[in-house]
Amino acid sequence: MQAWYKGAVWLWLLAPFSALFSLISKGRRVLFSVGLKAQHKTPVPVIVVGNLSVGGNGKTPVVVWLVEWLREQGYHPGVISRGYGGQSEHYPLLLTSETQADQAGDEPVLIYRRTGCPVVVGPKRAEAAALLASVGADIIVSDDGLQHYALARDIELVVVDGKRRFGNGHLLPMGPLREGLWRLKTVDAVINNGGPAQAGEFLMTLMPGALQSIDDNPTEPAPCAAHTVHALAGIGHPPRFFATLEQLGFVLDQQVALADHKAVASEQLDHLQSRPLLITEKDAVKWPGGHTNTWYLPVDAQLPSAFETMLLTRLKELENGD
């Protein structure tokens, strides 16, 4: 909702609803903290990668980075997710190479295909975590779920959009926040996607890779910098993707922004046939076909060595029972 980031005065009409949201949210936290609502503790450590605001902030690249980094440290990680945008006949759902985005959601499928690690989706994260531990994961990464207090966690990481940050700073629905900014003081680390990073934040940069064709045997060569292309993005903040393409030197003709997690309909591509079409990797996992010259842009997170040092310290503390 763009009004959250533009200081729209009419949002004050929603202040009573934000106050109610705050009351309910605080009540839930209290019930978990005093034990009136039970928290599920898994037999293996849990790292939550979440955010305070609604919309895409760059959690998925962090999850992929974590999985690969944890493997380098000798762990066998797995990922749990709510699976937004998917509808399975049963939960929890352990992904396989046959699982489609309409079953599990686009982000879990992307994570599974990029990493090959076990991924489980389900509305009850405790059940998903239990299944993941049963198939051999010795550490669990939760994609989102910072506010899902039913699942106990050992490390909390918050991802912040460096440009949009927290909008007007108000709670839903008056603003974009799920919890107040006070929550940042309780987490293990704040990761700033794109900068500028503020004091105490770890700066993450997203490095674009080489364009990949949607087709296994493309009939056209990949477009290069200075080529005019169309662009499509169904992510939390499509302008970030369009800006990345322009920074890489592409000239954007038509820019199509879709809602986050929204599947692309084939008829939406009819007016994009005249040029190569560049899309996000998240859109690629739910691509309907219908445009033969389509390429997706993978991105990889880069995080500073200080962040790795912090993680290693926290994991050693967990091993030592601290």
Query: Tens of pLDDT along the chain (322 residues)?
Result: 789 998 899 999 999 999 999 999 999 999 999 999 999 999 999 999 999 999 878 999 999 999 999 999 999 999 999 998 889 989 999 999 999 999 999 999 999 999 999 999 999 999 999 999 999 999 999 999 999 999 999 999 999 999 999 999 999 999 999 999 999 999 999 999 999 999 999 999 999 999 999 988 888 899 999 999 999 999 888 999 999 999 999 999 999 999 887 778 888 888 898 999 999 999 999 988 777 899 999 999 999 999 999 999 999 999 887 6
Q: How confident is the model over 39-68, as pLDDT tens digits?
A: 999 999 999 999 999 987 899 999 999 999
Cα 70 to chain centroid distance, Å, stands at: 18
Cβ neighbours for 155, distance < 8 A, ≥ 6 positions apart: 45, 46, 47, 48, 188, 311, 314, 315, 318
Task: Identify which of 116, 146, 69, 71 has the alpha carbon closest to the alpha carbon of residue 302.
Answer: 69
pLDDT, tens only, 181-239: 999 999 999 999 999 999 999 999 999 999 999 988 888 899 999 999 999 999 888 99
Selection from 220, 231, 165 nearest residue 198 by Cα: 165
CB distance 265 to 43 below 8 Å: no
What per-residue confidence (pLDDT) applies to 250?
97
pLDDT value of position 267 = 81
Q: Which of 288, 226, 236 is nearest to 257 (CA)?
A: 236
Q: pTM (2 decimals)?
A: 0.94
Of 80, 69, 142, 78, nearest to 312 by C-alpha is 69
Structure tokens at 166: 């927290």
Nearest-10 Cα torsion for 50, 53, 54, 55: -80
The span from the CA of 51 to the CA of 149, in Å, is 14
